[in-house]
């Protein structure tokens, strides 16, 4: 069964069940007493990790708008931070309970993030790695090193570890998701 996902603009309200928007001007801010008032610090949602956190830089090239996997992390929030001011898409579902409780397939959404906006997901949010829309997107990915090791435990088209559950959508749930602009 193919499920078409309309592309929804990522606003703080729209993505609240999945995580938080990261961008200047969304929360409170304060100026420092240094740098002649040239630096303004913006409040952001709290990043959560129990340690072993890393920053990776990824180049995300355009690919078919089809969701092949959904994954979630048990020990940390994950963040996607674009570097080259390009819009991108993230497909996600709210966190679900249980070690192998799958996502609510009726709650899967496709969000278009404006250039310059990052995304900090809640612990356990199901997601596919971001999609570039029409040109490559350079982004910082904040996650645990353990997750990278868990991804290496790829077996039968899926990966599972202490901080990762990555499932093949069609194989496991008999569903196919495609996001569409419009």
pLDDT tens, position by position, 131-178: 999 998 988 888 888 888 888 788 888 999 988 999 999 999 999 999
pLDDT at residue 38 in the model: 62
Q: What is the tens place of the pLDDT at every residue in 19-78? A: 888 876 677 777 765 656 666 666 667 777 777 888 887 889 999 999 999 999 999 899
User: CATH homologous superfamily of domain 2-180?
Assistant: Ureidoglycolate hydrolase (2.60.120.480)
**Calpha distance 53→105 (Å, rounded):** 29
Q: Is the pLDDT of residue 104 over 70?
A: yes
**∠ Cα 79 159 117 (to 5°):** 15
pLDDT at 93: 96
Q: What is the pLDDT of residue 182?
A: 66
Q: What's the pLDDT at 111?
A: 96
Residue 90 has pLDDT above 80, yes or no: yes
Using CA atoms, how far apart are residues 155 and 89, in angstroms rounded to an integer?
Answer: 27
Q: Which residues pair with 40 in a beta bridge?
A: 31
pLDDT bucket at 98, cuts 50 / 70 / 90: low
pLDDT digits (tens, 9 = 90+) for 105-132: 999 999 999 998 999 999 999 999 999 9
pLDDT of 99: 60
Is there a contact between 119 and 16 (Cβ–Cβ < 8 Å)?
no
Q: Tell me if 5 sits within 8 A of 178, measured CB to CB.
A: yes
Higher pLDDT residue, 1 or 166? Answer: 166
- The reported pLDDT for the residue numbered 25 is 67
pTM of the model: 0.82
Instruction: Report domain extents, the chain.
Output: 2-180
């Amino acid at each position: 069964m193919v499920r078409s996902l309309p592309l929804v603009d990522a606003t703080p309200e729209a993505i609240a069940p999945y995580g938080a928007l990261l961008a200047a001007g969304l929360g409170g801010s304060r100026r420092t007493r240094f740098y002649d008032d040239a630096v303004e610090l913006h409040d952001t949602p709290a990043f959560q990790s129990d340690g072993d956190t890393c920053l990776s830089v990824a180049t995300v090239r355009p690919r078919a708008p089809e969701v092949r996997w959904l994954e979630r992390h048990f020990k940390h929030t994950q963040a996607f931070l674009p570097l080259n001011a390009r819009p991108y898409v993230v497909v996600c579902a709210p966190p679900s309970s249980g070690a192998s409780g799958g996502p609510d397939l009726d709650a899967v959404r496709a969000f278009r993030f404006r250039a310059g906006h990052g995304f900090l997901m809640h612990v356990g949010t199901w997601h596919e790695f971001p999609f570039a829309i029409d040109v490559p997107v350079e982004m910082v990915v904040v996650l645990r090193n353990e997750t990278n090791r868990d991804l290496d435990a790829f077996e039968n088209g899926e990966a599972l570890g202490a901080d990762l559950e990555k499932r093949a959508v069609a194989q496991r749930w008999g569903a196919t998701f495609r996001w569409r602009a419009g």
